[in-house]
Amino acid sequence: MIEYSFSIAHLEYYLAIFVRVMGAMAFAPIFGNRAVTRRVRIFIGIACALAIFTANPYVSLGYTTFLEYTVLLLKELVVGITIGFMSNVTLSIINAAGQFIDREIGFSMVSEFDQSMNSEITITAEFYNMLVMVIMLCSNMHYFILSALSDSFQLIPLGQVAIDTGTLYDTMIQYIGDYFIIAIRIALPVMIAIMLLNVVLGVLAKTAPQMNMFVIGIQLKIFLGFAVLFVTIGFLPTITEYIFEEMQTIVTNVIKAFM
């Protein structure tokens, strides 16, 4: 017969796990999407926290007063929010690449409201974002987020959070550099094609000044941009894999910053 005792100390231990899990769920990709209702998000957080609580043996949190326990919960919340936010912010690389493409094609003024980012986004960026999310779902990205969150309790035990601001700063600097480099690489085929088209239009404007190259150029940029997007759409799984690896690197570095 299995006997298991559950006390107030165990409840406080579970609450600390739940706070870190919910902090990540609030900002993580897929789980933090506004399409996921709060009730569903809380239910998933309760289930994940219960699974982590069952898998990890109980360890005393080492606090004596209510204020110390509150500070402990705040630290766990910061860890969860940081992991979820950094895993979500890497997806903004796709949005930046889409905005670069739309700026070259001439669709920068055509935008719609993105509920996941809670901001205006161009149509190509939204198209790329939806395709990348589908590919990541098929490649079990949501399992990686849950796995990283579960492993964080092994690497950063409850009550032993030590924030290394230097490592967090270096991680953010690394991400900002990778953000622009990866986004420009994704948009580079369209940017090169439009640049060559502008050169051709400039030569034609000198040789045939009676032609209105501005009106012709607008239409040609749209057709050429769509043609390049159609040709390069097959590379999207490779781009998704690269961004997924970037997400793993960023989340790993963030976890190391709290060890």
| Percent share of the chain, pLDDT over 70 | 95
Q: Kindly state whether residue 199 falls inside one of the protein's structural domains.
A: yes
pLDDT at 113 over 80: no
Res 192: pLDDT: 92
52 Cβ neighbours under 8 A, 6+ residues apart: 17, 21, 149, 150, 153
pLDDT at 126 over 70: yes
Please tell me which residue, 91 or 112, carries the higher pLDDT value.
Answer: 91
Structure tokens that stand for 150 in this block: 């579960």
Instruction: Give the burial class of 239: count Cβ atoms within 10 A of its Cβ; 0-12 exposed, 13-18 middle, 19 or more buried.
Output: buried
Res 202: pLDDT: 82
pLDDT at 100 over 80: yes
| 190-199 pLDDT, tens digit each | 999 988 988 8
Q: Where are the beta strands (DSSP E) in the chain?
A: 111-114, 119-122
Range of the domain at 92: 8-257
Res 61: pLDDT: 78
Please indicate, yes or no, whether the overall pTM of this predicted structure exceeds 0.85: no
Q: Kindly state whether residue 185 falls inside one of the protein's structural domains.
A: yes
Distance CA 62, CA 146 (A): 27
Q: Kindly state whether residue 1 falls inside one of the protein's structural domains.
A: no
Q: Kindly state whether residue 205 falls inside one of the protein's structural domains.
A: yes
| 20-63 pLDDT, tens digit each | 999 888 888 878 777 777 888 889 888 988 888 888 887 777 77
- What average pLDDT does this structure show over 220-226? 87
Mean of per-residue pLDDT scores for the chain: 82
> In this structure, what DSSP letter does residue 58 have?
P
45 Cβ neighbours under 8 A, 6+ residues apart: 18, 21, 22, 25
Domain count, the chain: 1
pLDDT at 145 over 50: yes
Res 2: pLDDT: 43
Res 8: pLDDT: 79
Res 170: pLDDT: 83
Res 38: pLDDT: 82
Of 127-131, 215-219, 221-225, 237-241, the one with minimum mean pLDDT is 215-219
| pLDDT category of residue 1 using cuts at 50, 70 and 90 | very low
Res 90: pLDDT: 85
Please tell me which residue, 108 or 242, carries the higher pLDDT value.
Answer: 242
Q: Kindly state whether residue 70 falls inside one of the protein's structural domains.
A: yes
* CB neighbours of residue 234 within 10 Å: 8
Q: Kindly state whether residue 118 falls inside one of the protein's structural domains.
A: yes
Q: Kindly state whether residue 74 falls inside one of the protein's structural domains.
A: yes
Q: Kindly state whether residue 133 falls inside one of the protein's structural domains.
A: yes
